[in-house]
Amino acid sequence: MGPALLFCPGDRPDRFGKAAARADAVILDLEDAVGPESKAEARRAVQAADLDPARTIVRVQDATAAGFDDDLAAVAASPFRTVMLAKAEGPQQVDRVVEEVPGARVVALVETAMGVLAVEQLAAHTAVVGLMWGAEDLVASLGGTSSRDEAGAYRDVALHARSRVLVAAGAFGVTAIDAIRTDIADVAGAHAEAVDAAASGFGAKAAIHPSHVEPYRRAFAPTEAQLDEARRILAAAEATPGVFSFEGRMVDEPILRHARSVVARTEAAGGDGGAR
């Protein structure tokens, strides 16, 4: 999927190409970004979109929404097969997507209390290729009013959901996608959040504005110093089997896996590291 995923309203086909060109993948949104009066128009636009299916995700409404079946029908009639299921709460909802969209690859968006409780079941579903979490809908589902404290940091309940999604994704070998940052103007905050996401094990982060794409990509690309160290550790491991000392610290298999991850992220980004 690439590290930077960009949402685009489904009823704005004039923006589809621009969004796809700017991000690693575009998420054509049939849910929150589209008003009730524009849903039908958005579905027609998605069906007619001329985008790379491998880099396009369609977010459909949740399984309880009146237009859920219409959204699935629109995706089935389109060239796209990666479906983001909003407010996913159980594997039976994923089954409905697969029944209506043959060959669907599902990204389960966990953003309700019930979804958090079912996250392991969602991750285990054979059609699920990714898990994403959302803070605002989650807190709203709990009767709360804000996912962040006065300093801008996530509240504990949001961090709990984030961790559950990340661990479940890792356990079942699917991509974990970090939530959007709603503060569009805070580009530095977006970068810092993406740095933490990459270091924690997320494979991507979603954005609602193009200005966050570059900071995300920069965050997920290891620095030159990190890449150099990782390569030196792996080279030392080839010459010294088992646990060994490297520049004053012990290196065992978990450290080697960290190093391999740094190299893999660099290769996935198609570069040799970058500055943060």
SS3 for 172-229, per residue?
A: HCCEEEECCCCCCCCHHHHHHHHHHHHHHCCCEEEECCHHHHHHHHHHHCCCHHHHHH
Q: Which residues pair with 21 in a beta bridge?
A: none
Q: Which run of H or E residues covers position 73?
A: helix 68-76
Which residue has 């700017």 as its token pair?
22
Token digits of residue 147: 């996912």
Binding-site positions for Mg(2+) read 111, 137
* C-beta of residue 109 within 8 angstroms of C-beta of residue 123: no
> Do residues 57 and 25 lie in contact, with contact meaning Cβ atoms separated by under 8 Å?
yes
Annotated binding site for substrate: 59, 111
Please give the DSSP secondary-structure letter assigned to residue 55. Answer: G
Residues belonging to the binding site are 59, 111, 137
